[in-house]
Amino acid sequence: MFQKDFRFVGKHATYVKFLVNNAKIFQRNIDVYMLGALIGITYDKTSTKDMNSNDDTLIPVSAFITEKTNCIFIYRLVMLLSDAKGEEMNMENRLNRAFRDGVEQDAEGKMKDNMNLFHSYVLGGVEKIYELYTSDITGKDEYLERMMEVLEDFQDTDVIKNNELDEETLLKYM
């Protein structure tokens, strides 16, 4: 998990480059990646790789090494909150997906599926961030205003709606 480069391609690469290089809202591609996952799960927005363009940009493994703790935390949060493929999952399955899948030797396929799900939220989140920062914005001051609006919206969002997650249940998996 998070032990190799990640490449944004197509429109997602274009969006990431815009957010990092042009709008200068983020300093690094990995910052867009991490927030993309959080925004994707918050807005329940997923996407698939766009192969309609040759544009690409890379997050090197060194960035993942630097941000590994944050990436794992965000990954686990997404796995706990996501209903994979629209299926209602009980808390035990969510906890397995977040903390156990990939640890056991026979779970390599599960880990690949989980990472694909995680990346679908990253890509959906990148699209949402781009949408939020490109609609009706003409200057740097407006980027700051929009950032404050997004943070306020994010803070007011009730992401965790499942009351099955209590401390006792969580401690069994840690």
C-alpha 43/C-alpha 12 separation (Å) is 17
Contacts of 81-88 with CB under 8 Å at 24 or more apart are 81/41, 81/159, 81/160, 82/41, 82/117, 82/121, 84/113, 84/117
Tell me the chain's radius of gyration from C-alpha atoms. 17
Checking if the pLDDT of 96 tops 80, the result is: no
pLDDT more than 70, % of the chain: 79
pLDDT of residue 88: 61
Residue with tokens 């544009």: 55
Checking if the pLDDT of 169 tops 60, the result is: no
Mean of the pLDDT values across residues 9-28? Answer: 94
Q: If pLDDT is split at 50, 70 and 90, which confidence band does 162 have?
A: very low
Instruction: Check if the beta carbon of residue 110 is closer than 8 Å to that of residue 97.
Output: yes
